[in-house]
Amino acid sequence: MIAQFQAQAARLSGQSLRSLFDADPARMARFKLDAAGLTFDFSKQRLDGKALDAGLEAARAAGVEAFRDAMRAGEAVNATEGRAAQHMALRGKESFFALGQPVSHEIAATRARMRSFAEAAIAGQLEGWEGRPLRAIVHLGIGGSDLGPKLVLEALRPLRRPDLEVRFAANIDGAEITDALAGLDPRETLVIVVSKTFTTLETLANGAVARAWLEAALGPAAGAHLVGVSAAPQRAIAWGVKEDQVFPFWDWVGGRYSLWSAVGLSCEIALQTGVFDQLLAGAQAMDAHFLEAPEARNAPILGAIVQTMNRIGYGAQSYCLLPYARRLALLAPWAQQLEMESNGKGVTLSGAPLIQPAAMVTWGGVGSDVQHSFFQFLHQNLQSVPCEFLVVLGPGEGPADHRTHLLANAIASAEALLVGKPAQQALAEMRAAGLDASEAERLSPHRAFPGDRPSTMIGLPALDAKALGALLAYYEHRTIAQAVLMGINPFDQWGVELGKAMAGLAAGELRGSAAPRPHDPSTQYWLGRARA
């Protein structure tokens, strides 16, 4: 499979992107498609019909569709942990199973509990609250238990309840939980502790601070203000959450795929009635597309082929995610965890070392801000970095002219990466502006742009809950399809464990509760400094 991508890249590497447009009048139609209300334009990627056919052949050989169908059926596609990966069930309307066991009824029951709890909270009718209104939520989680809800609530800010503040604390840096609680009234605050295992160090440490804060102000009533979300509900209860305020999710849901479960309780409460349901509906629409669309017109599969071609065909080490929408500022960090934790693996499912890295580094920022920070790197750096632009095509917030300039910047930036500016053009422009000939000659290399830099454009009809749900589900499915192409497991994350385990040992040494261990000189020095 790797050889197929590399062979196509070698064939195309001498051709400019503009020449691919010239050679194929139907290129735009071939590489543009609509899915779940979104529009995807892959035409500025370095692919042609033959390369696309090779990518589709590789997807068939790798079993992308078979893996997809096994995932939908609830089989143990998470082979290293013996689990299903049934995040589609969390937003699906049909019957779903996990390892042969029905799960849809329990999902529906949990969703009904979430909705009922949200309604009671908004109405000031939570048991034990003495009729006080809910004014603030403090959401405690880390990784997938934090990034998804935070992204959704920022992206859909205009659809939030205006009288309800939501704060997040993830980091174990004490400044974060201090800031999250500062100025809030415990009598009107709900603390939601989200941890799949309910053993996560950062989350439980922050949770202990928040629990003590509630207890100091409310005494025995503090428990009414504490909610747990976990796949280990008994641990949450043992930690101090009332049994009727523990919301489950399940071991067949990976943390970074868990937004759609009770992990999204903060969203269910903080968003206006029905908005969270629309988010689920958008994701379900993309699920249906992924499951039903033919592979040649399947957006996640084509997206995975593009990513794989850029990584192993052209050797791109990273790609840049560029939403031209201020409210999607947290999209890149969310996608970073999804893609790099899922596919940042070193071995195949069989345990054999990978010949080529499976994933690119995901990074990015919000346009047009980033045009004034790292676009210098994108345009003139020696290494070409594939870019992914996102634009919202519906009405924007604020003055209409702002929308015009924002879209113009996004569309023009993608075109500028494609066409560039040769040194001779820069020279001619400076001469036409009246610059001295020798000075224009001297400056022309600095004002030249190589161009021929690939990008994808994704259009959203509006930044509403349904479009956002479809977009996030697209990234989930693309990540999984790319993993199948590379023969790796996108659902485990053993790579995060070593540092956490060693941190626990180091903390014991710093506290003096564990005997010092031998270390390299650098580690020994910094442990000594930390004790001082």
- For residue 479, the model assigns a pLDDT of 98
- Per residue in 484-527, pLDDT tens? 999 999 999 999 999 999 999 999 999 999 999 999 999 999 99
Task: Give me the active site residues, please.
Answer: 341, 372, 500
- For residue 415, the model assigns a pLDDT of 98
- For residue 131, the model assigns a pLDDT of 87
With beta carbons less than 8 A apart as the criterion, state whether 236 and 204 touch. no
With beta carbons less than 8 A apart as the criterion, state whether 250 and 87 touch. no
Residues paired with residue 34 on neighbouring β-strands, in sequence order: 39
With beta carbons less than 8 A apart as the criterion, state whether 155 and 327 touch. yes
Identify the helix (H) or strand (E) that includes residue 136. Answer: strand 136-140
- For residue 532, the model assigns a pLDDT of 75
**322: alpha, beta or left, given left = phi > 0 and alpha = psi -120 to 50?**
beta
- 446 backbone dihedrals φ, ψ, rounded to 5°: -75, -25
Question: Helices 299-308 and 275-292 sit at what angle, rounded to 10 degrees?
Answer: 70
- For residue 3, the model assigns a pLDDT of 87
Residues paired with residue 271 on neighbouring β-strands, in sequence order: 160
List of the chain residues with pLDDT < 70: none
Question: Rounded distance, CA 528 to CA 499, Å?
Answer: 19
- For residue 333, the model assigns a pLDDT of 98
Long-range contacts of residues 172-178, Cβ cutoff 8 Å, at least 24 apart: 172/201, 172/202, 172/205, 172/206, 174/209, 176/206, 177/140, 177/206, 177/209, 177/210
Identify the helix (H) or strand (E) that includes residue 321. Answer: strand 318-324
Question: Rounded distance, CA 136 to CA 266, Å?
Answer: 10
